[in-house]
Amino acid sequence: MDRKNFIKTAGLGIGVALIPEAAISEGLLNKETSTANLKSKIIRDGEGNVVNVLGDIQTHILVGSDTDNQIVEWVDDVEPGVGIPPHIHTKEDEIFRVIEGQIEIMVDGKTTVLKAGDTAFAPKNIPHSWTVVGTEKAKMITSAFPAGIEMMFKELADLPPGPPDFEKVAKICGNHGISFLK
C-alpha cells in the first residue's frame, strides 16, 4: 500500500473511532448511562463464588451485577460422569470452552468430544447437553448471555443435599426459561 492510500485508510479509521465520542458530545449517546454500571475487574484463577449445582462445581467469576446483565461466566470443575441432560434455553446463548479434560457435548443433535482448547456455541432455543467423559476431571469456562442464569444456579445449589428431586429441579429451571427434553 502506498503512503497516500495508507493516510486515507488511517484517517477513515480515526474518524470511525471518534464517532462514538462525537455522538456523546452531540447528546446522541449518554456516556454516563451506557457505562455507569460497569467496573473493570480482574479475576485470578481460583477466585470467585463457588456453588455446587447438583454436582457441577461452578466458580462464578462474572455475574450480571458485574456486567450490567450482559453476560455471566463461570468455571465448571467437574468429575467424570457428571453432566447436564438435554435441555433448551429460551433466554440465553451459551459458550463452552474446555480448559482441561474431555467433555462430550451435544448441540442441535450433533455430538462430539471437546478437549482442552476446544469451544462450542449453543444458541438459545437449540437443544444441548454435556457430560464429562474419560477418567479425569474436566475444567470448562462457560459463558451465558444475557446474564440471569446465575440466579437459577443459586436456587439449585440451595436444594437439600442428596439425590435431586427432578420435579423441583425442572420447576426451578422452568421458572428461568429452561426446559429438559425427554
Q: Does residue 165 surpass a pLDDT of 60?
A: yes
* Confidence class for position 13, pLDDT limits 50, 70, 90: low
Report the share of the chain in percent with pLDDT over 90.
74
104 closest CA partner among 78, 125, 123: 78
Residues 30 and 67 in one domain: no
Residues 31 and 69 in one domain: no
Q: Specify whether 80 is located in the same domain as 26.
A: no
Per the structure, the complete domain to which residue 130 belongs is given by: 49-180
In a domain? residue 40: no
Are 21 and 65 in a shared domain?
A: no
Instruction: Note the pLDDT tens digit of each residue in 78-111.
Output: 999 999 999 999 999 999 999 999 999 999 999 9
- 14 and 99 both lie in a single domain: no
Q: Are residues 53 and 120 in the same domain?
A: yes
Residue 43 lies inside a defined structural domain of this protein: no
Q: What is the mean pLDDT of the chain?
A: 87
Set of cell numbers at residue 180: 429438559
pLDDT per residue as tens digits for the range 44-63: 998 999 999 988 999 999 99
The domain total for the chain is: 2
What tens digit of pLDDT does each residue of 143-158 get? 999 999 999 999 999 9
Q: Is the peptide bond before 146 cis (omega within 30 degrees of 0)?
A: yes
How are beta strands 56-62 and 49-53 bridged, if at all? Answer: antiparallel
pLDDT of residue 182: 81
Q: Tell me whether residue 25 is in a domain.
A: yes
Are 26 and 59 in a shared domain? no
pLDDT of residue 96: 98
Q: In this predicted structure, what is the pLDDT of residue 161?
A: 86
Better-predicted residue by pLDDT, 9 or 43: 43
Specify whether 55 is located in the same domain as 28: no
The answer to whether residue 128 sits within a structural domain is yes
Same domain, 8 and 96: no
CB 97 within 8 A of CB 140: yes
| 93, β-bridge pairs | 145
Within-domain flag for 59: yes
Which CATH number does the domain housing residue 93 bear? 2.60.120.10
| pLDDT exceeds 90 at position 178 | yes
